[in-house]
Amino acid sequence: MREILGNDFEFLLEMMSDPEVMRYYPKPSTAKEVHELIDRMRTCYRRDGFGLWLVVHREAGYPLGRVGLVRQQVNGVDEVEVGYMIHRPFWRQGLATETATAVRDYAFRDLRLPRVISLIRPENAASRGVARKLGMEVRGRWQHAGLEHLVFAVDPPPA
Ligand X SMILES: CC(C)(COP(=O)(O)OP(=O)(O)OC[C@H]1O[C@@H](n2cnc3c(N)ncnc32)[C@H](O)[C@@H]1OP(=O)(O)O)[C@@H](O)C(=O)NCCC(=O)NCCS
* Residues engaged in binding ligand X (CB under 6 A): 21, 24, 84-86, 91-97, 120, 124-127, 129-130, 133
Q: Which residues of 114-138 are buried (b: 16+ CB within 10 A; e: fewer)?
A: eebbbbbbeebeebbebbeebebee
Alpha-carbon distance 10 to 111, whole Å? 31
Please identify, using beta-carbon distances, which residue of 38 and 136 lies nearer to ligand X: 136
Neighbouring CB atoms inside 10 A of 55's CB total: 25
- For residues 115 and 153, the answer to whether their CB atoms sit within 8 Å is yes
- Shortest distance in whole angstroms from residue 116 CB to ligand X: 13
- Shortest distance in whole angstroms from residue 46 CB to ligand X: 25
- Shortest distance in whole angstroms from residue 101 CB to ligand X: 9
Please identify, using beta-carbon distances, which residue of 47 and 91 lies nearer to ligand X: 91
Q: Is the dihedral of CA 69, 79, 101, 66 positive or negative?
A: negative
Please identify, using beta-carbon distances, which residue of 57 and 112 lies nearer to ligand X: 57
- Shortest distance in whole angstroms from residue 139 CB to ligand X: 15
Using CB positions, name the residue nearest to ligand X.
129
Please identify, using beta-carbon distances, which residue of 12 and 95 lies nearer to ligand X: 95
- Shortest distance in whole angstroms from residue 159 CB to ligand X: 28
Residues 6+ apart with CB under 8 A from 26: 145, 146, 147
Neighbouring CB atoms inside 10 A of 113's CB total: 17
Please identify, using beta-carbon distances, which residue of 35 and 133 lies nearer to ligand X: 133
